[in-house]
Structures are given as C-alpha cells and as structure tokens.
Amino acid sequence: MSADFSGDLLRIARQAREWSQTGLARHSGVSQANLSKLENGLISPTENVLNRVGAALNFPVDFFFQNDRVTGLPMSVQYRKRASVGKKAKERLEAELNVRIMHIRRLLRAVELEPELRLPQLDVEENGNPERIANLIRRTWLVPSGPIRDLVGWVERAGCIVVHCDFAALKVDGFTVTIPDMPRCIFLNRSMPADRQRFTLAHELGHVVMHQVPAPEMEAEANTFASALLMPAQDIRRYFSGRLTIQRLATLKPIWRVSMAALLYRAKRIGAITDNQSRYLWQQMGAQGYRRTEPPELDLKVEMPTVLAEILRLHFEDLGYSISDLARALCSSEDDLRTLHPLPGGAHRLRVVK
C-alpha cells in the first residue's frame, strides 16, 4: 500500500451503498464522530476500524489506500435532472462513476488503445453550426451515406470507451467524463430502448466534439448534432417525400435506427413537412400513446460496447486472471465486479470481438 488512507474514498464507498454516516456507523459499530473525522482526513483509522468499515461496506481495505482523485458528476447531470433525482441517488451515481473510472484506469494499464479514427475538436462558432459539424465528423470518419448502423463501433474506433450502466432509478440518459490521461468515457443508461441509447450516444459525441467548456446552448446544440449525425438532411430528405404518416414513421424507424419521434423532429427541422403537418402528426403520436412508448414490435437491437469487454477478455484469457485475481487488482469485491462489468458467467454476456 503506497498511498495514504483516503477519506474521499471512504465517502465514495459509503455513498456506493447509499448509506449516510449514521447508517455506516450502525452497520460497522464505528461512531459517526469518527467516521466524519475519517472522511474529512482529520484522523487516520486504526486497523480495527478499517476492518469493520471495510466489512460493513463490502470493500477490501486496499480500496481506501488508492491515490485516485475523486471526480464529481458532469454539469449536464448536475442540473439537467435536478428536480427529479434525489440527493442519495445522485451520490450513489457519483460513487459508481468513480469506482468505474478507477477500474477502467487500472484495466487500461495492460493494453494500448490506439484510436483508428480522428476525433477533432470543432468549435461551433468557428465551424458554423452543429449540423455542419456533424457532417464534418461523418466525412472525417468516411461514414457511408445513409443510416449509421453501428454507432457504438464508430465512437469506440475514435478512441472513446462506451460503458453501459444501470441508471434506471436515476432518470439519467448518459454523460461523458473527460479526465486527463484517460480516453473519453461515455456512460449510457442500458435500461433505455436501443434507439434512445443511440441518440444519447450521438448527443454525447456532440459534446465531446463541440464543447470543451460548458456553454448555455450546449444541450440544444448536442441534440441538433445527434439528429444531423444520425439523419443527414441530404440522405433522409427523399424518405420524407410524399405524405408523411405515422405508419411511414414506423417503417422508417428500423431503417434509420432512431425513434419515430426523432424522425418526426427531423422532418420538421429540414422543412420536409409544414408546421400544420407536424402538429397533426404529434397529435396522432399522442393519441396512440407513442409519445410515451413507441410500439414494442419496432424495438431495435441494442448495440453492445466492445472495448471494455475486450480488455476484460484479455485479462481472463491472455493474462490468465481469475475473477478473484481481478477483484484484488481492482481493489473491489467480487460482487461489485460482477455488478459493474460484463464478466464470463456474470449477469452480462461477454462479447468477444475479432
């Protein structure tokens, strides 16, 4: 153990379990006064206290002696859903985010990730508008015209790590974390339908490309970018020719792999339908209940991220790690490892690429 005891990581472990200091005091038999001082770095733990706290939290004590700096939630999560997400749930999300980043950082030590595609930074003011920037990205990557089939694949080839997480209770679609010396990590809520995951991923890619610093218009710009990346005006216009109906939107959904709602927005945005047509179609969408849930028979297949799965596979197959070896290397319990990652025999399917 090279680093000192980290009060911040004690807090992260406690928040990962959605416990207050009082809750942890009850479960560990360590007084809340001591826990508070430990988290604030005012005292160092005795071995007895460490063991009690580690056991109560189901974190190996090594976890508290890592020198990782704790990361806060990105701005977009901070205020986007402020009203609907409680403090405890937000703290748990922050804890999960930090634990995941620590895992990814350690897993990356064994591999060299070399992006195949360039991921340029394009300022909105200098490059016109998000629509044009989406076009530039497609051209930079040489994406064939028409629908993008495997968006996760493109984004991962550009050097980002896409991570599926369970944010169901949190009403968070996704967010991006940028940390020096690490690839961009884009976290997606895996409980969303596939079309919404794709749109969210395109939206996050928009932030990565356009927003080095938060800007007032960033959410609208990222949505426009996502819409233009997935449905370029020049490619999709002819699909909207003739009379656009709900049935037509349903037919287009599996082709373009975006929601009927996203298609309808796009049709309006590129001027393929009038205000009146748009209003009428939205009414129809509402009447059918499609504004809440689109027809389940049109659900798309989820695109699975492969980079993290491949790095885990490499640890197990090429480097000969067992699950308990990996838990030790990541300073994690095996339970957390299974919850957080696609492990062989775990809850997730490990997909081997190549």
Cα distance between residue 336 and residue 320, in whole Å: 20
Other CB atoms closer than 10 Å to residue 191's CB: what's the count? 14
Cα distance between residue 176 and residue 218, in whole Å: 13
**Closest approach of Cβ 239 to Zn ion, in Å?**
27
Q: Residue with CB nearest Zn ion?
A: 76
**Closest approach of Cβ 23 to Zn ion, in Å?**
33
Per rule CB under 5 A, count of chain residues that contact Zn ion: 3
Cβ proximity to Zn ion: between 225 and 290 the closer is 225
Cα distance between residue 133 and residue 118, in whole Å: 14
Cβ proximity to Zn ion: between 38 and 188 the closer is 188
Q: Contact letters (x/-) for Zn ion, 219-248, by CB under 5 A?
A: x--x--------------------------
Q: Say if CB 147 and CB 230 are below 8 A apart.
A: yes
Cβ proximity to Zn ion: between 28 and 197 the closer is 197
Q: Say if CB 116 and CB 197 are below 8 A apart.
A: no
Q: Contact letters (x/-) for Zn ion, 43-82, by CB under 5 A?
A: ---------------------------------x------
Cα distance between residue 151 and residue 348, in whole Å: 20
Q: What phi and psi values does residue 162 have, to the nearest 5 degrees? A: -100, 130
Token digits of residue 63: 């976890």
Q: Contact letters (x/-) for Zn ion, 106-135, by CB under 5 A?
A: ------------------------------
Near Zn ion in 185-224, by CB under 5 A: 219, 222
**Closest approach of Cβ 210 to Zn ion, in Å?**
11
**Closest approach of Cβ 265 to Zn ion, in Å?**
16
Cα distance between residue 264 and residue 247, in whole Å: 12
Cβ proximity to Zn ion: between 28 and 76 the closer is 76
Q: Say if CB 263 and CB 298 are below 8 A apart.
A: no
**Closest approach of Cβ 260 to Zn ion, in Å?**
22
**Closest approach of Cβ 76 to Zn ion, in Å?**
4
**Closest approach of Cβ 93 to Zn ion, in Å?**
15
Cα distance between residue 328 and residue 305, in whole Å: 25
**Closest approach of Cβ 221 to Zn ion, in Å?**
9
CA angle 181–183–185, rounded 5-degree value: 125
**Closest approach of Cβ 86 to Zn ion, in Å?**
21
Cβ proximity to Zn ion: between 39 and 221 the closer is 221
Cβ proximity to Zn ion: between 24 and 210 the closer is 210
Cα distance between residue 206 and residue 169, in whole Å: 25
**Closest approach of Cβ 219 to Zn ion, in Å?**
5
Cβ proximity to Zn ion: between 76 and 259 the closer is 76
Q: Say if CB 152 and CB 175 are below 8 A apart.
A: no
Cβ proximity to Zn ion: between 38 and 186 the closer is 186
Cβ proximity to Zn ion: between 57 and 93 the closer is 93
| DSSP H or E segment with residue 136 | helix 130-141
Q: Say if CB 256 and CB 164 are below 8 A apart.
A: no
The residue written with tokens 């047509």 in the block is 277
C-alpha distances out from residue 328 to 50, 259, 316, 317, 333, Å: 17, 42, 14, 17, 8
Cβ proximity to Zn ion: between 222 and 340 the closer is 222
Residue in 126, 197, 184, 187 with CA at minimum distance from that of residue 158 = 184
Could you list the residues that contact Zn ion (CB under 5 A)?
76, 219, 222
